[in-house]
Amino acid sequence: MLSWLPEDISTFGPKIDQLFYLIYYITSATFVLVTALLLAFLVLYRHRDGRRATYTHGNSTLEIIWTIVPALILVMLAFMSKGQWDAIKKNAPPADVEVSVTAKQFNWEVRYPGPDGKLGTDDDYQEDNDLHVPVNKVVHVLLHSKDVIHSFFVPVLRLKQDALPGREIVVWFEATKPGEYEIPCAELCGFGHSGMKGTLIVHDQAGYEKWLKERWPDKPAATAQAPITTAAQRG
């Protein structure tokens, strides 16, 4: 069933998928066990003339076993999850590239800092729905919303984060494969929710530099790299 997962092109994605697989194996095994026992009991203990059910009110040893074993498995899953959760949502590595994404009914407004590496200055560049990033670089996305709650979902990155009006939420990713991928909105945001989508364009290094040059033709490529240094120093 998990072969239906979309392609995985983020650095933390494979770890999420591994956990997904682990839980899949554990729950499938449990399901098979329980269903097999259920069916076996239904066949073995079906009504027959002269049969009388075993008179028992339970068994404390069994109760203890089937309390402790699931508890241990679940606590183990919780601790495995916590480490990855912290790495993805709490302890972001320093940014190579920073970009602001503001959700609004029904577009993603993408704002690039430009050569000075600072958002909110004159050389910022803004466009709707296209998010250009370099491959193999840590990208920080500063998420905002202008109206309702939206959710920034990039299936191939295994990344999802709600964008809330009135706050800034920073998410990060590092894409490992150039290409164009969809960015659907995953939180109901009104009548145009369906179809609210952007495109993540992951460039290889040369392609990214070319894109920067086209966008800011007056600036030398070295300066265009500025956000990388500033953000890294801040990080």
Partner 1 sequence: MSQAAVATAAHAAHDEHKLSFIRHYVFSTDHKMIGRQFLFLGLFMMIIGGLLAMMVRWELAWPESQVPFTSWIPEPYMYDEHMNPAFYNSLFTMHATIMVFFVVMPILVGCFGNFLIPLMIGTRDMAFPVLNMLSFWVGAVAGVIMLSGFFVPGGHAAAGWTSYAPLSDVPTYSGVDWGQNLWCISIIVLGVSSLMGSINYITTIVNMRAPGMKFFRLPLTIWALFIVAILLLLALPVLTAALGMLLFDRLAGTTFFLPSGGGEPLLWQHLFWFFGHPEVYILILPAMGIASDILSVFARKPIFGYRAMAFSMISIAGLSWIVWGHHMFQSGMNPTLGSSFMISTMVIAVPSAIKTFNWLGTLWGGDIRFTTPMLNALAFVSMFVIGGLSGIYMAATPVDIFIHDTYFIVAHIHYVVFGGSVFGIFAAIYFWFPKMFGRMMNETLGKIHFWPTFIAFNCTFFPMHILGVGGHMRRIYNPMQYDFLHPLQPINVFITISAFALGLAQIPFVINFFWSLFAGPKAAENPWQANTLEWTAPSPPPHGNFGEIPTVYRGPYEYSSPEVEEDWLPQNRRLEGAVARAH
Which 131-160 positions form the footprint of partner 1 (CB under 8 A)? Answer: 147-149, 151, 153, 155-156, 158-160
**Structure tokens that stand for 140 in this block:** 């920080």
Contact pick of 14, 93, 94, 190 for partner 1 (by CB under 8 A): 190
71's torsion region: left (phi>0), alpha (psi -120 to 50) or beta? Answer: alpha
CB 174 within 8 Å of CB 137: yes
Residue 70 burial (CB count, 10 A): 11
DSSP-derived secondary structure letter, 171: E
Q: Is the CB of 112 or the CB of 181 nearer to partner 1?
A: 181
DSSP-derived secondary structure letter, 165: B
Query: Which is nearest to 11 in space by CA: 183, 175, 202?
Result: 175
Q: Is 170 in the site for partner 1 (CB under 8 A)?
A: no
Q: Is 61 in the site for partner 1 (CB under 8 A)?
A: no
Of 2-10, 109-117, 128-136, 213-221: span binding partner 1 (CB under 8 A): 2-10
CB 115 within 8 Å of CB 123: yes
Window 93-132: contact mask with partner 1 (x via CB under 8 A): ------------x---------------------------
Q: Is 85 in the site for partner 1 (CB under 8 A)?
A: yes
Q: Where do we find the tokens 């997962």?
A: 5
Q: Is the CB of 158 or the CB of 228 nearer to partner 1?
A: 158
Rg (C-alpha) for the chain, rounded Å, is: 25
CB 139 within 8 Å of CB 96: yes
Q: Is 30 in the site for partner 1 (CB under 8 A)?
A: yes
In which element (H, E) is residue 164 found?
none
Q: Is the CB of 78 or the CB of 221 nearer to partner 1?
A: 78
CB 119 within 8 Å of CB 140: no
Q: Rounded to the nearest whole angstrom, what is the least distance from the CB of residue 116 to partner 1 in the complex?
A: 29
Within residues 206-225, the interface with partner 1 by CB under 8 A covers: none
Q: Is the CB of 34 or the CB of 232 nearer to partner 1?
A: 34
Of 94-102, 163-171, 214-222, 226-234: span binding partner 1 (CB under 8 A): 163-171
Q: Is 32 in the site for partner 1 (CB under 8 A)?
A: no
